[in-house]
Amino acid sequence: MTTRVPQERRRRRPTRSGVLLSEDLIVQTALRLIGEHGPEALSVRRLGAALGCDPTALYRYFHGTDDLVLAIADRIIGDAMAGFAPGDDWVASLRDMALRVRAGYLAHPRAAAMAAHRVTRRRNEIRAVETGIGLLLTAGFPSADAARLYLAFIDTVLSHAAAEAAFQALPPQQREADRRSWRDVYQGLDPATYPSLTAVRPELPAMADSSFEQAVDLLLEALAARARALGPK
């Protein structure tokens, strides 16, 4: 388990350029560097240069780059969930959560690959897990089921959102080539060799579109059906 840097070591300090150094500023700068140059830009040396401070100053706020990655992941969650308030409809609330996670990852596509598979152990993630499990408990699921079903829900959401973000992080020409493949390559396949693809040929160009919402809706429909099978709460 990661031990947070003590508060007394995280006092706001001015950099050489006069900017007050803080945990929030470091995370914000790290996100910018990753967005501009990719995950390989996340180094203490490059962060120090971007912040105008001695790289060792960053260790007053984070134990190392992995600790910073966890803070970045938690920042994305916090930004995505800002202003979210669960409603009376637990299915609609979970759907809103899923769309927010996706939007958060697409806002930082290069950082998403670093964040999706991590457990941040921080405030924003803990609040999100509390909210998600709470919604499933509201639906009538027993505690053990609520925890496991939330894990299935959020793993599906995070994996799908991360894959979409990874595609968004590709160079534009690669993204366009992949999209065109559904029209240029799949439309011209031999019907005798690929009868199933031929049968759905008119639908294939739409394969370039995101399936995120459909995947989330299928999962939520399954959860709702299981909740109904439990009977009255």
* Residue tagged 């590709």 (tokens): 170
Domains: count for the chain: 2
In a domain, 105, yes or no: yes
Residue at 170: amino acid letter: L
The string of pLDDT tens digits covering residues 9-50 is 445 555 555 668 899 999 999 999 999 999 988 999 999 999
> Helix or strand or coil: residue 3?
coil
> What do you get for the CA distance between the two ends of the chain, in Å?
38
CATH code (residue 44): 1.10.10.60
C-alpha dist (Å) from residue 92 to 1, 21, 97 = 34, 40, 9
Q: How confident is the model at residue 8 (pLDDT cuts 50, 70, 90)?
A: very low
What is the reported pLDDT for 113? 87
CATH code (residue 152): 1.10.357.10
Q: Is 214 left (phi over 0), alpha (psi -120 to 50) or beta?
A: alpha
**In this structure, are strands 20-21 and 13-14 parallel, antiparallel, or unpaired?**
antiparallel
The string of pLDDT tens digits covering residues 122-167 is 999 999 999 999 999 999 999 999 999 999 999 999 999 999 999 9
In a domain, 1, yes or no: no
Residue 201 belongs to domain spanning:
84-229
The string of pLDDT tens digits covering residues 78-104 is 999 999 999 999 999 999 999 999 999
